[in-house]
Amino acid sequence: MVPVVRVVREGRVQGRRAGRVDPVKVAPSILSADFSRLGDDVARVEGEADLLHVDVMDGHFVPNLTIGPPVVASLRPRTDLFLDCHLMVDNPGILLDDFAKAGADRCIVHVELGDPRPLFERMRDLGMGVGLVLNPPTPVDAVLPYLDEIELLLVMSVNPGWGGQAFIPEVLDKVRLARAEIDARALPVEIEIDGGIKVDTAALAAEAGCDILVAGSAVFHADDPAAATRAIRRAAWPDG
Ligand code: DX5
Ligand code: ZN
């Protein structure tokens, strides 16, 4: 992944952090797609999305149960989009080999599970990118020791489990703190936010310092998912 060079200046431009040099990216979450025609739904955002967010839930770490490596393997030949797998599971370690074989580009693991370093090592050995995620109640301090070992920090803006929940604005303070730390140390880490992202919250997230916005229901419940993806990016990056 290409390190992002940032120049942080005072002040804000509407829906955009002043000094930002690269467009905000949008990652549609297939959790809100129609699973009976998943390949077609993904094709509808293919030209507009920057990457694809795959929500994996095991019915234990979160109460909901969704999809796993076989679905990633089915999608892989249908899309060139980067497949980013958000693992909301109790034991991600037993799944990493299967996700790599299925064609996942990166896995994102929860810091709430304890020391993520053995998982990072396995992901790297398997040739996948490394992401770390924290839930709304988890303090940002929990992820700071790992910032120089990851490419992606995902900040949950809903409690994980379902699409279509309301954005929790208090998590933006964590985004600002992480942004300041990443910029101060010039680390090549992107900040992503997940949950309740729509046109209005997209602008808030971008202003706080997010690089990637996950959007599920706002994209796949729209009549035109590509236009919805574009509208979210424009809200976050008006010149894009
Ligand atoms: C929630 C998932 C999200 C979800 C977001 O547990 O991690 O990725 O798909 O859905 P929306 O955008 O509808 O809040
Ligand atoms: Zn997610």
pLDDT tens digits along 183-199: 999 999 999 999 999 99
5 band by pLDDT with thresholds 50, 70 and 90: very low
Give which of 180, 175, 98, 82 is closest to 133, Cα–Cα: 175
Ligand with minimal distance to 29 CA: 1
From CA 81, how far away is CA 124, in angstroms rounded?
A: 20
Task: Measure 175 CA to ligand 2 centroid, in angstroms.
Answer: 16
From CA 153, how far away is CA 192, in angstroms rounded?
A: 6
- Closest residue by Cα to atom 10, ligand 1, is 163
Structure tokens at 95: 């799944």
Q: What is the pLDDT of residue 23?
A: 87
Closest ligand 1 atom to 161 CA: 6
Task: Measure 164 CA to ligand 1 centroid, in angstroms.
Answer: 7
Strand 12-13, strand 190-194: pairing: unpaired
- Closest residue by Cα to atom 1, ligand 1, is 160
Q: What is the three-class DSSP state of 142?
A: helix
* 111, 138 contact by CB (below 8 A): yes
Task: Measure 56 CA to ligand 2 centroid, in angstroms.
Answer: 8
**Residues annotated catalytic, as ranges:** 55, 194
Ligand with minimal distance to 107 CA: 2
Handedness of CA 130, 136, 142, 145 (dihedral sign): positive
Q: For a ligand 1 pocket test, name from 26, 30, 32 the mutation site with the most ligand atoms within 8 angstroms of its C-beta.
A: 32
Amino acid making up residue 133: V
Task: Measure 172 CA to ligand 2 centroid, in angstroms.
Answer: 17
Residue 100 CA neighbour count, 13 Å, CB half: 17
Question: Which class for 152: exposed (0-12), middle (13-18), buried (19 or more C-beta within 10 A)?
Answer: buried
Q: What is the pLDDT of residue 117?
A: 98
Q: What is the pLDDT of residue 104?
A: 98
Task: Measure 192 CA to ligand 1 centroid, in angstroms.
Answer: 12
Backbone angles phi, psi at 132, to 5 degrees: -130, 140
CB within 6 Å of ligand 1 — which residues? 29, 31-32, 53, 55, 86, 158, 160-161, 163-165, 194-197, 214-218
Helix axes 172-184, 199-208, angle to 10 degrees: 40
Ligand with minimal distance to 30 CA: 1
Q: What is the pLDDT of residue 19?
A: 63
Closest ligand 1 atom to 86 CA: 7
Amino acid making up residue 81: L
Per-residue pLDDT of 109-148, as tens digits, reads: 999 999 999 999 999 999 999 999 999 999 999 999 999 9
Give which of 129, 118, 136, 125 is closest to 84, Cα–Cα: 129
Amino acid making up residue 58: D
Average pLDDT, stretch 10-20? 51
